[in-house]
Structure 1
Amino acid sequence: MICKDHLVSGEKFEILSHEPGILKTHPVPDELENYYESEEYISHRDSSKSLWDKIYQGVKSHMLSQKAKWIRSEIKQGNILDVGAGTGEFLNKMNSFLWKVEGVEPNRIARDLAILKGLDLKSDLSLIRDSKYDVISLWHVLEHIPDYEKKIDQFYDLLRENGILVIAVPNFNSYDCKYYNHNWAAWDVPRHLWHFSRAGIQQKLSEKGFLLLKEIPLKFDSFYVSLLSEKNMPGNTNLANAFLRGLISNLKAEKDGEYSSIAYFFQKKPK
């Protein structure tokens, strides 16, 4: 499949098979960080200027509470490392429940915004030393990491015994992916280097020493991704169709489990 970078460059990239249930983007640009330099890349900013920003921030605020609730249902209190922490809202939410929080965020602008929230985020995982965590979370981050298998091994070592690794990623077996095909916004080439099915990510984490505890569907993502996908389509953005496709995606997934995005909770197994 050939997909276009609709956000920054307009360049085209291939989606190739890598392993069963895992696809990869080809080629990977040498200066990948340049492909994140866009005002439209909303995860690295806190703007609430436009109506769309306000809607996004409202949904995000609700989801922060949900994410904290899901984690605290497994471990009431402890310490957490959030990888790809953005501007730090999730860590602030966990801190409000008296969790000890640390984060990694490679984007300098996002780290500067996090400082305003009282958070000192590290720029790279290698700067995290001599710590053990109850939870490590990656909310739509794993797909961005070039050496993601090596990083999973590092997460295993950084977790306490029976610690939990939370990974949220898009699912290319979802209805909205099949409907929008190469215009599906969650391909997001070349920023998304890896693309996962449910079976693919579960198999990979099992190989790395993790046991699947639960899957939690991220139901808002089907609407968000469908709206962005509509923007990728020729002609004017069809808001009604985006809502319809997001709704259909969730309804179909209630039967087959193939939601647009899923948060997986994995527990570290003793070696």
Structure 2
Amino acid sequence: MNEAADNKCRVCGEEVSPKLDRVSAGTGESFEILICSACGHGRTSPQPTDLDKYYSGYYGGRHGFTARFRAMSRARILNHCFNRIAGRSVLDVGCGDGDFMLAARGSGWVVVGTERSEQIGEITGLDVLPDLIAVQKVFGDASFDAITCWHTLEHFDDPAATLDEIGKLIKTDGVLLIAVPNFGGWQSRFFGRHWLHLDVPRHLSHFTSDSLDQLFSKHGFKVERSWHSEFEYDVLGWSQSGLNAIFPTPNAFFHLLSGKPTKIGSFSKIVNFALGSLFSAVSLPFVLFGSLARKGGTLVVKAVKVDNSTQI
């Protein structure tokens, strides 16, 4: 990509400029967020050519004891979008550990997923392909009644191209459900570089409500409904970001909850867990008011694929 193109927003095409520095929690490398002056969309820079090293240890119990609750909640959202479920198909883009796919299959859905780790399908027995190109080759155009992207669209460097690929795979009037961290919400603005959900460089794109709406409208989707919080993500966004602003070791509370190893001693673990629990409780009113004010830490959007042939 040439230098001029790299200075343009990949959602609306306007100029971007560096506004926020961030240090990767995993490697100590420095990254910055380029922000669009028009729609507020953010892009991680520089974008690594080899992302595999940043996903080492990323899979497996990332969300701890809340994983099943979250998967069932998302399956209910999907079920409410359709009067009849039996025989309908859903593609889960970036299926992670497969928890949502299992919950959807338990509700009667025919499920397919994509994930960069080839082991996910082997471990779960689910139909998991490496990427959208592979899905296209196997299933062809207009194959799915619904497509979900639960906190995965932010992992793509070119969300417009990704949405075009999704548009080929979904049926006309099919439902697209997307959840992303809200780069325009209160958490992002208050905590800045300490915000848990920046997660650079795994998160390559950073969405605002405006940039997500523009992305949908330009690529063949009509937004029908949006939510401005997802409970687990919002609570952790407040509590862990607050701890990140205080302590030098980032994301320790999150790692303790998910059973991941941390580089802190026993006393620090106790302090992080105690303060993290306290901050989580204190955050509940902020989660509620953030959702009501449409400034929560997460954006969840339901969009429908429109028939372009009927548009003038």
Q: TM-score, normalised by structure 2?
A: 0.76
Checking the alignment, whether the CA contact within 8 Å between 1:176 and 1:246 is kept in structure 2 is: no
The equivalent of 2:99 in structure 1 is: 89
Aligned equivalent of 1:15: 33
Q: Equivalent of 2:43, from 24, 27, 30?
A: 24
Name the counterpart of 1:68.
75
Picking from 53, 59, 71, the partner of 1:34 is 53
The correspondence for 1:99, drawn from 98, 106, 109, is 109
**1:154 aligned onto 2:165:** yes
Q: Is residue 134 of structure 2 the alignment partner of residue 123 of structure 1?
A: no
Which residue of structure 1 aligns with residue 263 of structure 2? none
The residue that corresponds to 2:306 in the other structure is 269
Measure the CA separation in 2 of the matches of 1:241 and 1:183.
18
Q: What does residue 45 of structure 1 align with?
A: 60
Task: State the Cα distance separating 1:185 from its structure 2 match.
Answer: 1.0
Question: Hey, what's the Cα distance between the residues in 1 that align with 2:285 and 2:114?
Answer: 35
Moved more, 11-20 or 118-127: 11-20
The one-letter amino acid paired with 1:32 is L
Report what 2:121 is aligned to: 114
Alignment of 1:241-260 (within 5 A): 242-243=279-280, 246-260=283-297
TM-score (norm 1): 0.87
Q: Which residue of 1 aligns with 2:259?
A: none
User: How far apart, in 2, do the equivalents of 1:82 and 1:186 lie?
Assistant: 21
Count of aligned pairs = 255
Closer, same or farther: CA 103–254 of 1 in aligned 2, 3 Å: closer
SS at 2:179's partner residue? strand
Distance 1:58 1:3 in 2: 29
- Retained in 2: the 8 A contact 1:161–1:269? yes
**Uncovered stretches (5+) of structure 1, i.e. residues with no partner:** 47-52
2 CA distance for matches of 1:186 and 1:144? 12
2:89 paired residue number: 79
1:165–1:267: 8 Å Cα contact kept in structure 2? yes
- Partners of 1:184 and 1:254 lie apart in 2 by 18
Distance 2:81 2:146 in 1: 10
Whether the 8 Å contact between 2:67 and 2:99 is mirrored in structure 1 is no
Corresponding residue for residue 5 of structure 1:
24
Superposition pairs of residues 181-192 of structure 1, within 5 angstroms: 181-192=192-203
Match of 2:214 among 200, 203, 225: 203
Q: List structure 1 segments (4+ residues) > 4 angstroms apart after TM superposition.
A: none
Q: Match for residue 235 of structure 2?
A: 223
Identity of aligned residues (%): 26
CA distance in structure 2 between the aligned counterparts of 1:171 and 1:178, rounded to whole angstroms: 10
- Letter paired with 2:65: G
Shift of 1:244: 5.1
Report how far residue 33 of structure 1 moved.
1.8
Over aligned residues, Cα RMSD in angstroms? 1.9
Query: 2:282 & 2:182 partners in 1: Cα distance?
Result: 15
Which amino acid in the other structure matches residue 80 of structure 1?
V
Task: Point out the more displaced range, 11-20 or 258-267.
Answer: 11-20
**Structure 1 residues 96-105 or 228-237, which shifts more?**
228-237
Displacement after TM superposition at 1:160 (Å): 0.7
Bigger CA radius of gyration: 2
Instruction: After superposing the two structures, state which structure 1 stretch, 114-123 or 25-34, moved more.
Output: 114-123
CA distance in 2, matches of 1:117, 1:141: 19
The 3 A distance-change label for structure 1 pair 5 and 123 is same
